Amino acid sequence: GAADYECEMVVLGGGPGGYSAAFRSADLGMKTIVVERFSKLGGVCLNVGCIPSKALLHNAAVIDEVKHLAANGIKFGEPEVDIDALRGFKEKVIGKLTTGLAGMAKARKVEFVRGIGRFIDPHHLEVQITTGEGKEVTGETKIIKFQKAIIAAGSSVFKLPFVPNDPRVVDSTGALELKSVPKRMLILGGGIIGLEMGTVYSTLGARLDVVEMLDGLMQGADRDLVKVWEKWNAHRFDNIMLKTKTVALEAKEDGIWATFEGENAPKEPQCYDLVLHATGRVPNGGKVGAENAGVIVTDRGFIPVDKQMRTNVPHIFAIGDLVGQPMLAHKAVHEAHVAAENAADHKAFFDARVIPGVAYTDPEVAWVGVTEDEAKKNGINYGKGVFPWAASGRAIANGRDEGFTKLIFDQDTKQIIGGAIVGPHAGDMIGEICLAIEMGCDAVDIGKTIHPHPTMGESIGMAAEVFKGVCT
C-alpha cells in the first residue's frame, strides 16, 4: 500500500546520536523524520543516563564538600534529605532539556513519529505507534518511505541470567529512580556507571559493596589515577571484591542474598537491601529489522560502518552505541554529524584522533588518548610529565590537593599523545588535552601557553614543563 509518510531522511532513535543526526540533516535541507518509541527526544543520555546521574552527583558532591569544611572550622549539621524533592529536581533538569530539544526539532521542521520502528525493506520503515510515558503500543502502524536512513537505536542494559525480578534489584535506570536509600547496597560491576550511582547512594547514607571480575575498578583508566580515587572513597565501602564473580542472587523477605566465587569472595552469602547490576550495555543493532534492509549486523548486535558512518548498504548509515565502543554520548553526536553530512552529499569522515572518557565520581577521573598503562603494554617510546596537585596553590586553597595531572608524550617528536587527570572537575579540564592532541601540540606548545593563575588548569601547563625538565 501507499506510505503514510515520505521523507528524504529517516532517523531511527531519538538519543544524542539520533536527534543530532536529525537536526543536522534538516539544517542541510533534507526533509527529516525522527522515529522514537518514548514520548520525548533525548534517549538514554538525557532521560536515564548522563544527565540525571549528574544531577544527583552534583547534589552528592556538595554534601560531601560541606563535610570537608569541618576541617576548616566551618561546621554544618547533618543534611536532611527530602528524597522526593531531590527526585523532583532531577526530573526538572530532564524536563528543561527535553523541552529544549522538542523546540529545536520544531524550529527545524523535523517531524517526530512516536513508535517502535522496524525496517521492512531498504526504503521502508514500519512504525508501531506508541503512547503514554513509556512504550505502550496502540495497535496502530504507520509506514514511512525514505530515501536515506540513519540507525541510532542505541543500547540496552546487559542483564546477567540469574538476576531475579525484584524491585530490590535494579539497573542504572532503576537506580536513577531513587525510590529509597538502602542500608547495604551491592554494586555488580566496578565500571563507571556503577561507581557513579554508588557515590550518590553512599553520600545519601548507604554502605557499599562492589564486586568486579577483573583485577581493578574503573577499567580503562591508569591504575595510579584509580588509586587516588580509591583512597578518597575507601570510607564508602565495606568490601571491594576484585577478581570475584557473583554466581547467584536470591530474593528473600529480609533482602537479596548474593553468593560470590573467586579470590576475594566472602564464604557465606551476603544480604543486601539493594543490588545494582551495572555489568555493561549491549547494542540494539539486532532489534530493528536491519537485515530486512540488507544491513549487516554482527552476532553481538553491532552494526559495522566505515569512516563515513555508512553501513554495507550505501544509503543507510549507523551511529552511536550500536556501532561500537566507547558507548559515549559525545562520540554519538560526532558520528551523527558525519552521517548526516554524508547523507546530504557532503564529504565528511569520523577522524577524531581521540575520544575522552570521564568518571564523574568524587574526585573525577578523566583520560584521553594513549594511557600510560597502554603505552607500557604496547612498548611505545613515551615520556611523561606529572604535576601533583599537592603543588597547586588553587588545589590546596580548595582543600582538595589529592589529585594529579599527567601528560603522555611521544619521546621522539615530543608531541602529546595522551593525558589523564584525577581530581575535582577533571572532566571539565580534560577538554584542553583533547584539543592539544587534535592540534598535534608538543610539550613546548603546552608549556608555553599561559594558563590563568591560580587554577587547576595550570597543572596542564606545569605537567608539560615537568616533561621538558624545566620545572622539576
CB atoms closer than 10 angstroms to residue 106: 11
State which of positions 157-176 bind ligand FAD (CB under 6 A). Answer: 172
Tell me whether residue 36 or residue 465 sits nearer to ligand FAD (CB atom). 36
* Contact status, residue 219 vs residue 229, Cβ threshold 8 Å: no
Element (H, E) at 16: helix 16-27
- The answer to whether 117 is annotated as binding is yes
Nearest distance in Å: CB 323, ligand FAD: 8
* Type of residue numbered 270: Q
Active site residue 453: yes
DSSP strand pairing (136-151 vs 270-272)? unpaired
Give the C-alpha distances (Å, rounded to integers) separating 459 from 194, 419, 455: 29, 12, 8
343 binds ligand FAD (CB under 6 A): no
446 binds ligand FAD (CB under 6 A): no
Nearest distance in Å: CB 152, ligand FAD: 5
Nearest distance in Å: CB 187, ligand FAD: 12
- The answer to whether 192 is annotated as binding is yes
Tell me whether residue 324 or residue 419 sits nearer to ligand FAD (CB atom). 324
Residue 167 phi, psi (nearest 5)? -60, -15
33 binds ligand FAD (CB under 6 A): no
Residues 6+ apart with CB under 8 A from 458: 392, 394, 451, 452
Q: How many residues bind ligand FAD (CB under 6 A)?
A: 35
Q: Cell 551476603 identifies what position? A: 270
Tell me whether residue 155 or residue 405 sits nearer to ligand FAD (CB atom). 155
327 binds ligand FAD (CB under 6 A): yes
3-state secondary structure 245-298: EEEEEEEECCEEEEEEEECCCCCCCEEECEEEECCCEEECHHHCCHHHHCCCCC
Checking 133-139 for CB contacts under 8 A at 24+ apart, the result is: 133/38, 133/39, 134/38, 135/37, 135/38
Out of 87, 145, 330, 414, the only residue in the binding site for ligand FAD (CB under 6 A) is 330
Tell me whether residue 111 or residue 410 sits nearer to ligand FAD (CB atom). 111
Q: Which stretch binds ligand FAD (CB under 6 A): 31-39, 96-104, 305-313, 385-393?
A: 31-39
Tell me whether residue 57 or residue 258 sits nearer to ligand FAD (CB atom). 57
105 binds ligand FAD (CB under 6 A): no
Per the structure block, which three cell numbers stand in for 378? 604496547
425 binds ligand FAD (CB under 6 A): no
70 half-sphere exposure, CB direction, 13 A CA radius: 8
Contact string (CB under 6 A) for ligand FAD, positions 136-155, x = contact: ----------------xxxx
In angstroms, the CA 329 to CA 166 distance is: 30
Residues at the interface with ligand FAD (CB under 6 A): 12-18, 35-38, 43-45, 49-50, 53, 116-117, 152-155, 172, 193, 284, 288, 320-321, 327-330, 332, 360
Binding residues: 54, 117, 189-196, 212, 280, 321, 327-330
- Active site residue ranges: 453
